[in-house]
Amino acid sequence: MVGSHSTISLDAMSGDLGAEVVVHAAAATLLKYRNVELRLVGNQTELQSLVSRIIGDNPRLQIIHASEVVEMAEPPVDALRKKKDSSMRIAINLVKEGQADACVSSGNTGALMATAKFVLKTLPGIDRPAIITELPAKGGSLHMLDLGANTEASAAQLFQYAMMGSIVSSDILGIAAPRIALLNIGVEDMKGNDTVRAAAALLSASTLNYVGFIEGNDLFSGKADVVVTDGFTGNVALKTIEGAVGLVHHFLKRAFTRSWFAKLQAVLASRVLKKLAMELDSRHYNGATLVGLNGIVIKSHGSADSLAFQHAIDTAIVEVRNQLPQQIGTLLQKEIA
């Protein structure tokens, strides 16, 4: 299935907002791409009703029945062992069986990672998969990993993350040699723990475009295209970023509704405010890749609306067309040699 044609399986049942969001995203995707086929996985009766109302007949869309759903709070082990007919499991199985090139799900992150790793396995030479996503930054955007797949990482694993992040950034942003930085408590060579300094030594000796350490306050400065860290630190950083964006929105709303004069200022600045809202809109950055697997799996935010879910599908399509797992395997062999 390599080439311009792509088939994407969509876990339609696992998100917070229900299957209708996924069907609307599927409708938009079918209009946007003429060479993409979709496999909607979930309750046949519910999905058929939604498809009939929202999409109608389309030969590039197929519904595949699943009798179970992985709940958002369900332990990953239970999902893996007890929900073998879940929409999540079947959507991933389609990738394993070659019936789909990629899977997109808004479901339970832990269950998705555990199931994907069990079904697809990791690429040769990759110890653990990681979660990588795109974030806004000055002059464009950046990719950051790991965002929670593994709470700890060795120097060798951080090096693997850097390789995978470089390829994802190159594919999504079109950068020939993405600048890679290690998240640290300082930029000086002696700063950080032994693991981070050992990872820096590995990156410095590699062919990757390693630019050194970066501190948290410089994440969005435009100094790096890929930021590498362990999953514990990365997840804390991501949640802090999401909270900070929410706080900015709160302060802006409060400032522009405090008085009639402030409301008038808001009207006068409406064009600027709309542009700012679009640039900070997390929906345009939805779609985290479970990178390092022997297949493509995209994690959409659990509360993603149809626009956000469509962006996750877009990410899957780009990675299929660029043959992401094959690229990672090739670069890994190059670095080992």
Residue 120 has pLDDT above 90, yes or no: yes
Query: Does residue 14 carry a pLDDT above 80?
Result: yes
Q: Are 86 and 68 in contact (CB under 8 A)?
A: yes
pLDDT category of residue 241 using cuts at 50, 70 and 90? confident
Nearest CA to 144 out of 245, 241, 246, 249 is that of: 241
Taking the C-alpha atoms of residue 233 and residue 67, their distance in angstroms, rounded to an integer, is 37
pLDDT at 2: 41
Task: Give the mean pLDDT of 268-279.
Answer: 61
Mean of per-residue pLDDT scores for the chain: 88
Query: Is pTM, for the whole model, over 0.75?
Result: yes
Q: What is the pLDDT of residue 314?
A: 93
* % of the chain at pLDDT higher than 90: 61
Give 286's pLDDT tier (boundaries 50, 70, 90). Answer: confident
pLDDT of 135 above 80: yes
* Residue where the block lists tokens 């969001």: 21
Reported confidence tier of residue 254, pLDDT bands at 50, 70, 90: confident
β-strands 226-228, 140-145 pairing: parallel
How high is the pLDDT of residue 3?
46
H/E/C letters for each residue in 115-176?
HHHHHHCECCCCCCCEEEEEEEECCEEEEEECCCCCCCCCHHHHHHHHHHHHHHHHHHHCCC
Q: Given this model, what pLDDT does residue 293 score?
A: 94
Q: What is the pLDDT of residue 82?
A: 93
The label of the residue with tokens 């399509």 reads: 317
Mean pLDDT of 37-53: 96
Domain architecture of the chain: domains with CATH: 1-121+293-302 (3.40.718.10), 127-291 (3.40.718.10)
Contact 22, 52 (CB under 8 A): no
Can you give the pLDDT at residue 42? 96
Average pLDDT over residues 288-314: 91
pLDDT of the residue at 145: 93
pLDDT band per the 50, 70, 90 thresholds, residue 282: low
pLDDT category of residue 225 using cuts at 50, 70 and 90? very high
pLDDT for position 304: 82
pLDDT at 40 over 50: yes
Residues 180-218: tens digit of each pLDDT? 999 999 999 889 899 999 999 999 999 999 999 999 989
